[in-house]
Amino acid sequence: MTDALFLTSDEIDGLATPAEYVEAVRDGYQQVGDGAPAHPRQKFHRTEPDGMFTSYAAVLPETGAMGGYMYGAGFGAGDAWFVTPLFDAENGEPLALLDGASMNPFKTGAAGAVAVDELARDDATTLAVIGSGSQARGQLHTTATVRAFEAVRVYSPTRQNREAFADDFDQRLEATVTATDSSADAIDGADVVVTATKSTEPVFGGDDLEPGTHVTAMGQYEEESHEIDVRTVERATYVPDLRERATFDAGAFLAALEEGAITEDHVHAELGEVVAGHAPGRTSDDEITVFDSGGTGIETVAAAHMLYERAREQDLGSTISFAPASEALTGRLPDGS
């Protein structure tokens, strides 16, 4: 038998700072850029009741961990459940099992923040956020650690939501955070644009982006999701989290391919290649860059291992035991025969 740590969502909540998530995730992408394995998510759908089961994984040898994410959403419950198994990358033994809900916005936000640090202009001071839910919150918490933003503008369709979001972050950040009445107002003059929505329609026009803008789009993980438009993809130096995912489920990229606006060669590099120094990031102040974030096992394993280490330091969590296959694969019947 071997013991593993079980961490609840409440135990994980607040266990690490946004900057610590960014540091861990940056290291994970560097490892994948240097050749560590990671693949896009697998998605399984069913109807009556509608639901989706999703999983993805990565191995981070320098971290010494491997694992991934599994979650079920819908199935009549109208909710989602996130499970994160973490294994030792050297001996394969289970290290931990995490309730992955509370870390989700921060580990996803950290991937966006790493991209902003690699692809946005160094002098970026104005940030636009389209969306006001938990993912938008995670993106802002983490992205604010990599640039000294002076102004943040937020737009979402519900006035109450965008104003509450702006009021909250205006008290948390040194930047001035305000709500706008349209996405066009939010992105006007913005150096960095973050989209964190579930929209199936573009939330702004690509021709409205000024030269030098960086866009992080994190709602692009379904074929029908077109949070950014074809024109944005066409104008931009396009960097997905994983190259393979661009033609798998990156909605806006697939739409641009279908319209003939780009070819598959339009993928500049995946994020890990840029972080590891194998491909350039931004090469000019006028360049428009896009990071297409659909979610991977990279940020999941990197963040989960960091949280596991923090929990051990603070003596958090409970213990669960696993039997090795050499003991458990007996083939015995309930009566022992």
What is 112-292's CATH superfamily? NAD(P)-binding Rossmann-like Domain (3.40.50.720)
| Predicted local confidence at residue 221, as pLDDT | 63
Backbone angle region of 48, left / alpha / beta, with phi > 0 → left and psi within -120 to 50 → alpha: left
Full-model pTM = 0.95
DSSP 207-221: GGSPTT-EEEE----
Give the count of beta carbons closer than 10 Å to the beta carbon of residue 106. Answer: 28
Average pLDDT over residues 6-24: 97
**In angstroms, how far is CA 123 from the centroid of its own chain?**
24
Which are the contacts of 55, defined by CB distance < 8 A and separation ≥ 6?
41, 42, 68, 69, 70, 71
| Predicted local confidence at residue 198, as pLDDT | 84
Is residue 256 classed exposed, middle or buried when 0-12, 13-18 and 19+ CB atoms within 10 A define those classes? buried
Q: Where are the domains of the chain?
A: 2-104+297-328, 112-292
Half-sphere exposure of 52 (CA within 13 A, CB side): 10
**CATH no., domain 2-104+297-328:** 3.30.1780.10
**190: enclosing H helix or E strand:** none
User: Number of H helices and number of E strands within the chain?
Assistant: 12, 14
Average pLDDT over residues 39-68: 93
Read off the pLDDT band of 330 (50, 70, 90).
Answer: confident
What's the pLDDT tens digit per position in 130-179? 999 999 999 999 999 999 999 999 999 999 999 999 999 999 999 999 99
Q: What percent of the chain is modeled with pLDDT above 90?
A: 86
Which are the contacts of 23, defined by CB distance < 8 A and separation ≥ 6?
none
Residue of 209, 210, 253 lying closest to 230 (CA atoms): 253
Which tokens hold the place of 153? 């503008």
